[in-house]
A and B are shown apart, each in its own frame.
Chain A
Amino acid sequence: MRLPDQVTGLFLVGLGAAAAYGGWLLPPVPGQPVGPNIFPLVIGSGLALCGLAIALGIGRTFEEEEEIVPIETGQARPPTGKLYGLRALLPPALLLFYVAAADRLGFIITAALIVYVTSSALGARWKLSLPLAVMAPIVIHLIFSKLLRVPLPAGLLPMPW
């Protein structure tokens, strides 16, 4: 997801200006010239300036092209469609799903779903991803809940230990 520098630069100008304005609104420490307002003001202005410079293309000459190790020949290139790029959003979406569902469904079921989807999305057949979805949550549950005593939600399927 490579955006033009103008877009990211202008976004940063907006973010910086908003931060500076937000800082400006905060009250200073009573009896002092400065307080919680000054730092966001400085940071925000700096960020806005940087954003402007980026939008104008300053410093682009320093950018080194990333050294990509070429793929060995004989490998299929990844398909590139419009929706293909959206696959990248899958991991954060699954984490949000965990937040929403873990308390009701319990850790084991939620985790199993996450494992199944992640591994299938990375190209695993069901012969691999199904056993993985059963095993991985139990292993993680053992480590974190039993060994480290993290209170993981039991939900519909509490573990016997």
Chain B
Amino acid sequence: MLNTLIEAFALISTWEVIIAMLAASVYGLVIGSLPGLSATMATALLVPVTFYLSPIAAIATIVAASTMAIFSGDIPGALLRIPGTPASAAYADEAYAMTRKGEAELALGAGVWFSAVGGIAGTLSLMILAPPLAEIALSFSTFEYFWLAFLGLMCATLVARSSPVKAIAGMFIGLLVACVGIENPGGVPRFTFGMTDLFGGIEPIPALVGVFAVAQVMRAMLTPEPPPIPKRKFGSIMAGQWRLTKKYRWQMTRGNIIGIIIGVLPGAGADMAAWVSYAMSKRFSKEPEKFGTGHVEGLVEAGASNNASIASGWVPSLLFGIPGDTIAAIAIGVLYMKGLNPGPTLFTEKASSMYAIYLMFIIANIIMIPLGIVMIRLASYVLRAPRSSVMPFIMLCCAVGSFAIGNNMFGVVTVAAFGIIGYVMEANGYPVAAMVLGIVMGTMIEQSFVTSLIKSDGSVLPFFERPISAILAALAIGALIWPVLVWGWRRLKAISPAAAPR
């Protein structure tokens, strides 16, 4: 244990890792603070760069950039009432109300301080939860893996803030995308339409860049520019945070726990955690009437929650290759690329790398405090950059980055195509996160499904015979028919009162 810890320290105390982490932190802070550029997009655009780094440095950049971006989304939320990332949307109104009351320092300070606390709580959960779960997971057969992956996809559709039917459809589209190529049980070209470029399948990373970055530039073409930020001088940012911590320690802890739980659930990420925690804070508050008028309580709880979900989202990713959220989905891609294939054996065979990940999360959350304060002070300059000068850079990064992944132009075509797909899906209420999970998990779910079927000689019964597999199956099928049941129930209720008076 101690030896592994020392090894982990040695792994991360190289210049490459330190520089990569610092650079990624600054990058994450800037991208996260720009309205319209989300944390997921920041991470996706980073992937081509990680190709050229050592495994630990590559993961360091992902960890640092995503942690920072989730916090710095609070900055334009508080100053402009425009959340920098979707994860800050839940409390942007509240934070802006505080700014108008002259409490911008307190709102932003709470953002940075409780984000850091939340991030560390999430990391602790990752350290505590993952190893024992890995023990259990070692005894899983393909049946359990199939149901687990299926359940993961179902969770993603249940928590989507959209119609569950559309979310399931989105998931199926993603799985269909994963079908393309010759990497299937028979090794035959499938859905390649004779194009050799498609033989290798559709890479998840260009698809992600298209869905999250190109689609965003497309939306920017049709929406008006956000207003420029007024110049202002800030007082002390950290003043009063310790007082808040003591006053709202229960709210903070509750936010951490909710964030951790939502992070672990596949598909539900920081934005969901913030919405749930903010609503919860209002529900259980002693002074709910103050919410919406610039009250810091909700900010504390939701800020502690969304950053906690970032680290805990890595739990299912590292254990099963099932992403806890879209950022973790990207991280999984990087893990595979770097030979750290997700699975329970990762915790025994590559224990020092796992400790290195924990350490990087903790370090990222600690350096977030000073870097975040600097960022807040510089925000009035960074946020003055007009969209018309930022978006061209995003476009170039999309083109070059997707080319760099396979050194071929087909990656760029994929990015463009998925930009359109993502844009159309989003505009019509189909959650793209569900499709992304489908793409990332497709190969794994097919493999476990077909291997299980071959083992059972084509019969479906063995899928339900092992105890854990039966429990997982019941949960998954329940999640699948839940929307149908609720719909039927509502129909019945709608019909009976209308029929009764007659």
A residues sitting closer than 8 Å to B (CB atoms) are: 1-3, 5, 8, 12, 15-16, 19, 22-23, 26-29, 32-40, 42-44, 46-47, 50-51, 53-54, 58-64, 67, 69, 71-72, 75-78, 84-85, 87-96, 98-99, 102-103, 107, 111, 114-115, 118-124, 128-129, 132-133, 136-137, 140, 144, 147-152
Contact = CB atoms under 8 A, between A and B. Distances in A.
Nearest to B484: A58
Contacts of B133: none
Chain A interface SS verdict (over half): helix
B218 A92 contact: yes
B339 interface: no
B228 to A, nearest CB: 11
A123 B397 CA distance: 20
B424 interface: yes
Interface in B30-52: 48-49, 51-52
19 contacts: A3-B428, A15-B173, A28-B186, A38-B449, A46-B172, A54-B165, A54-B166, A60-B163, A63-B166, A92-B417, A95-B398, A95-B412, A114-B395, A115-B393, A122-B221, A148-B48, A148-B51, A148-B404, A152-B403
A55 B75 CA distance: 41
Contacts of B397: 140
Nearest to B449: A39
Given A95-B415, A123-B388, A67 B218 contact: no
B430 A114 contact: no
A123 B270 CA distance: 32
Contacts of B161: 64
Nearest to B429: A63
Interface in B374-417: 386-389, 391-393, 395-401, 403-404, 407, 409, 412-413, 415-417
A26 B190 contact: yes
- The winner among A67, A72, A103, A122 for most chain B CB atoms within 10 A is A122
A144 B427 CA distance: 33
A122 B220 contact: yes
Interface residues on B, range: 35 or more
A132 B385 CA distance: 12
Given A1-B427, A122-B386, 11 more contacts: A15-B173, A19-B176, A33-B458, A39-B449, A47-B173, A58-B487, A78-B222, A96-B412, A98-B399, A124-B389, A148-B404
B346 to A, nearest CB: 26
Most chain A CB atoms below 10 A, which of B163, B214, B386, B484? B163
B169 interface: yes
A19 B173 CA distance: 10
Contacts of B457: 33
Contacts of A76: 224
Contacts of B175: 39, 43
B454 interface: yes
A31 to B, nearest CB: 10
A129 B218 contact: no
Contacts of B417: 92
B388 A129 contact: yes
Closest A-B pairs by Cβ, 3 of them: A33-B458, A124-B388, A59-B165
B162 A95 contact: no
A67 B428 contact: no
Nearest to A32: B454
A114 B453 contact: no
B138 interface: no
Contact of A96 (B52, B220, B386, B416): B416
B364 to A, nearest CB: 22
Given A54-B169, A91-B221, A95-B399, A33 B164 contact: no
Given A1-B427, A34-B454, A99-B412, A16 B164 contact: no
A128 B390 CA distance: 12
Nearest to B396: A140
Contacts of B164: 59, 62
B89 A67 contact: yes
B140 interface: no
B261 interface: no
Contacts of B111: none
A148 B453 CA distance: 44
A157 B51 CA distance: 27
A69 B81 contact: yes
Nearest to B483: A59
A96 B221 CA distance: 17
B217 interface: yes
Contacts of B223: 78
B225 interface: yes
Contact of A91 (B52, B186, B190, B218): B218
A106 to B, nearest CB: 13
Nearest to B90: A67
A124 B172 CA distance: 40
B450 interface: yes
